[in-house]
Amino acid sequence: MSRKFFVGGNWKMNGDKKSLGELIETLNGGKVDANVVCGAPSIYLDFTRSKLDAKFGVAAQNCYKVPKGAFTGEISPAMIKDCGVNWVILGHSERRHVFGESDELIGQKTAHALENGLGVIACIGEKLDEREGGITEKVVFAQTKVIADNVKDWSKVVLAYEPVWAIGTGKTASPQQAQEVHEKLRAWLKTNVSEAVANSVRIIYGGSVTGATCKELASQKDVDGFLVGGASLKPEFIEIINAKA
């Protein structure tokens, strides 16, 4: 089964209207051959969606697990959709390890986002001590199980494998390391969800992806795209988007 290459740009807490406006102009002028979704800071979701060409999707970088209420600082899937935005990034390692989000909370957010019609880029990945301790599979399978338990329609889900030790560090998992984990994740989905889901769901790689590393990573059989951090704020993002072309 052919899985359409998928590239997410996670702008994180970066940019202002001027710099993001310039980036959007560059993206709008680029030729892209993939599904592309840009994750804007929540305060710029409306701005980004209004300026970015319709060939690009837009994602919120987080959302809460209920429609509305006394949750200062949070945003809901309903609000995200009201801005014309159709995706959300959930479970990013920074949400897990900087803000202390649990697997359980990420699962609840995933269920609520999907019930409200958002596509979910669901992030999983191990820390350096976990990889060095030989428990990469145990960690990523446990994280994936909590997400899977909250998904009814897998057509709206993209799994993003992000080794935490390779995010913002300049270190990248080798193409072989990335492929090995992606292949094992696909086998886990086959055993624990279904063969059809395992064949169709896109598993993308995140962790210091750059113009220099993207082509070899994209050539791996089970790497179906990228979740790009810092490089998604630079013109080379177009090159990364077209890594498979």
| CATH number, residue 14 | 3.20.20.70
Report whether pLDDT(222) > 90. Answer: yes
Q: How far apart are CA 180 and CA 173, in angstroms?
A: 10
Report whether pLDDT(110) > 90. Answer: yes
Q: Indicate which residue of 101, 126, 130, 162 is catalytic.
A: 162
Establish if 108 belongs to a structural domain.
yes
Report whether pLDDT(64) > 60. Answer: yes
Report the DSSP beta bridge partners of residue 37: 8, 57
User: Percent of the chain, pLDDT > 90?
Assistant: 94
DSSP 3-state assignment of 37? Answer: strand
Domain count along the chain: 1
Mean pLDDT of 77-106: 98
Establish if 223 belongs to a structural domain.
yes
Confidence of residue 197 (pLDDT cuts 50, 70, 90): very high
Domain limits for position 138: 6-241
Establish if 1 belongs to a structural domain.
no
Q: How far apart are CA 92 and CA 95, in angstroms?
A: 5
Residue 187 φ then ψ, to 5°: -65, -40
Q: Are 241 and 234 in contact (CB under 8 A)?
A: no
Q: Residue 108, Cα to own-chain centre: how many angstroms?
A: 17
The pLDDT, as a whole number, for residue 158 is: 98
Summarised one tens digit per residue, pLDDT across range 19-56 is 999 999 999 999 999 999 999 999 999 999 999 999 99
Q: Indicate which residue of 92, 112, 130, 182 is catalytic.
A: 92
Report whether pLDDT(1) > 60. Answer: no
Establish if 23 belongs to a structural domain.
yes
Mean pLDDT of 143-167: 96
The pLDDT, as a whole number, for residue 131 is: 93
Does the active-site annotation cover 162? Answer: yes
Tokens linked to 32? 């892209």
Average pLDDT of the residues of the chain: 96
**b/e for 128-146, b at 16 or more Cβ within 10 A?**
eebbeeeebeebbbebbbb
Residue 28's CB is within 10 A of a number of other CB atoms, namely 13
